[in-house]
Amino acid sequence: MGFPLPCSLTPTKVTAFKDCAYSFRLSVIDKVPQPLSLWTVKGVIAHKALERFYFNLEPGERSPASAMESIDAAWERAFDAGHAASFLSELTPERKRSLRSEIDELILNLFTVEDPSKIRVIGTEIMLESPIGDFLARGMIDRLELDSNGDLVVVDYKTGRSPSHLREQDKLAAVLFYALLVERVIGKRPRAVKLIYLKDRIVIETEVTPQRLKAVATRTSAVWHAVRAACETESFRPRPSRLCNFCAYRCQCPSFEAQGQPYPQHATG
């Protein structure tokens, strides 16, 4: 019978499938919820603060003090409702203080890698989608800006550590995927893509060329065909690696069945 195909591919899904097809199946096909982690909540609040900071404020209003106000707003909203609110309400006061101070540090680090008062923002948290071949590509762009020559630059914030050289290529491919979406939807090819690693205060920037966008489209199509074949044959194999240490599905994984739980059945309804 086969598994249903996902409705779209995002950079996150592409990376997830390449990292471990079994984990991809649980999260994308079976939609087994992943528990929230401190790392995830920290990233969500930091991104929301940056969205407000760059979209709501004029360039001249962007200071460390107004960045703190943006974090205050994102922090308060996170406590309002939803999964993050119940997760945060269970933290000890000490852990909450520590989380807040880590977020403050991430955002203040931004001022060491760029001058926010000089950033010409087109938009933040922009959802784009476009057909590529026989599938739908989707992606949420953290920030789209204009450089000093009026060319587009796609920016992606990272709240974790900067990657090894090997992983760096994967991260760049993900943000080039966004550049491809910008070209398809807006009709203008961005000049560059930029990854900002807030924790390590590192910026990785690369030029966008037609060859690079073509390579991303080809690579993403190849992943889509592999996903389709895996759905048709119901074959999503676990791929143990050091990433298993961070995997939310470890206790459901056949590779760890000695300590695990029964293999989850696919929901057909």
Summarize as ranges the residues that interact with ligand SF4 (CB under 6 A): 20, 22-23, 238-240, 243-244, 247, 249-250, 253, 255-256
> Which residues fall within 8 angstroms of residue 174, CB to CB, at 6 or more apart?
11, 12, 14, 15, 156
Q: Give the CA distances from residue 222 to residues 5, 18, 132, 217, in Å, rounded to whole numbers and listed in that order.
A: 15, 11, 11, 9
Please give the structure tokens belonging to residue 238: 């676990």
Burial of 227 (0-12, 13-18, 19+ CB in 10 A): buried
Task: Tell me the C-alpha distance between 243 and 241, whole Å.
Answer: 5
Q: What is the rounded CA–CA span in Å between residue 85 and residue 136?
A: 32
Pairing of strands 152-158, 192-197: parallel
Q: Which residue reads 């680090």 in tokens?
A: 109
What is the Cα–Cα distance from 27 to 46, expressed in whole angstroms?
A: 24
Phi and psi torsions of 194, nearest 5°: -135, 130
